[in-house]
Amino acid sequence: MNAQTSLNRDLTEDLRRRVLDAAETRTPLAIRGSGSKEFYGRGVRGEPLDVSGHRGIVSYEPTELYLTARAGTPLAEIDAALTDSGQMLGCEPPAFGPGATVGGTVAAGLSGPRRPYAGSVRDYVLGVKVLNGRGEVLRFGGQVMKNVAGYDVSRLMAGALGGLGVLLEVSFKVLPRPVAECTLVQEATQAEAIERLNRWAGQPLPLSASAWDDGRLSVRLSGAAAAVEAAAHTLGGERLDPVAAEAVWAALREQTHAFFAGDEPLWRLSVAPASAALALPGAQLIEWGGAQRWWRGDGEAAGLRPAPLDELRSC
C-alpha cells in the first residue's frame, strides 16, 4: 500500500459490517476517532468502533466554498488544505490533540473564539453521510446551501456525540481567511469588560474574538486592512505582535491557557452576553462577547444555578 492510499481510505463497507454484526448480537459500540475529546460528555461503554482509518478529503472546491471529507480525516489535514487556498473553517473548532478528526469535531460540536461572530460548527455543516444502527448508509443535506431543503437533519449531528449514527462524511461550508487581523489588549475590570464588549457588539466593528482574564480585555479584529485599522484606532489599546496574538487565541481555543490548569473544579457557564459580572469567589475568564463564562472554584450545581444564574437570566 503506498503512502497516498494509506491516507485516503474508504472503510464504509467494513464499518457497515461491524454495525450489522453488533445489531444482530445486540452489542453496544463506542465510536472512536483519535480520542481527543473522550473527556467530553458522559462515559461511553461498548466495543470500540474505530473510524480513524476512514479518512481522506473526498471533494474540495475552493471557488464553491465547500469541502467534503471522511470522518476519520485529521482536522490538521483539513486546516492545511484550506490554508493553502487562503480559506478556513469559520467556527475555529478546537482540536484538543494532534490527531483530532473531522467526525469528532462535528460530533462534539465545540467551537473556538470566533464562534459568536462567525457561527458554530453546526452553521458550517452542509451535509453528511451517516451509518445508522441498522447498517443503512444515509445522506442528508448537500455540498452547497441551495441543495439544503426540508428538515436539516445534517446539522443535528453537530453535538450529538455519535448518538444519532456513525458519521462517515461531512461537507463543510468554508470561508476566505481575513486579509488582516489585529489583537488589542486593554486594562479593564470584569464589569468594564462586559460593558465594552456589549457596546462594541452593537457597532459595525470587525470583531472576531474576545476574552477577559485577570484584569485584561483582549479583542481580535479581522477583515479588510482598512476596516481593521479604523477599528483599532477607534478601540485603542496595546497592539500585540501577530505571533503573540496567535498564541493567545490558540491557547484559549485549545484550553492550554494558564487559567485552565489546576485541580480546582472548572465550570463553564452560558449566560446572556449582557449579564452582570458573576459574584463568585476564585478565578474567572470571559469569552464570546460575555456569553461564555468560565469559573474555577468549588461548588454544587444545585446551589450554583439558583444564585446567581436565575438573576442573570432576567437581565
pTM score, whole prediction: 0.88
Q: Which of 61, 105, 53, 111 is nearest to 81 (CA)?
A: 61
How confident is the model over 19-56, as pLDDT tens digits? 999 999 999 999 999 999 988 888 888 999 999 999 99
- Looking at domain 3-176, which of 3.10.20.30, 1.10.10.10, 3.40.50.300, 3.30.465.10 is its CATH number? 3.30.465.10
User: Minimum mean pLDDT among 5-14, 188-197, 211-220, 284-293: which range?
Assistant: 5-14
Sign of the Cα pseudo-torsion (44, 50, 56, 58, in order): negative
- 175 bridge partner residues: 88
Domain assignments of the chain as residue spans, ordered by start: 3-176, 180-313
C-alpha dihedral (131, 25, 45, 165), degrees to nearest 10? 10
Q: Please give the share of the chain, as a percent, with pLDDT higher than 90.
A: 81
Most confident segment among 171-180, 256-265, 270-279: 171-180
3-state secondary structure of 207: strand
- 293 bridge partner residues: 269, 286
User: Minimum mean pLDDT among 3-17, 77-91, 197-211: which range?
Assistant: 3-17
The answer on pLDDT for 150 being more than 70 is no
- 217 bridge partner residues: 186, 212
C-alpha dihedral (65, 69, 71, 76), degrees to nearest 10? -80
Strands (E), the chain: 29-32, 47-50, 57-61, 66-70, 87-88, 125-131, 137-141, 166-173, 175-176, 180-187, 207-213, 216-223, 238-239, 266-270, 284-287, 292-296
Q: How far apart are CA 109 and CA 181, in angstroms?
A: 25
The answer on pLDDT for 312 being more than 60 is no
pLDDT at 315 (0 to 100): 35
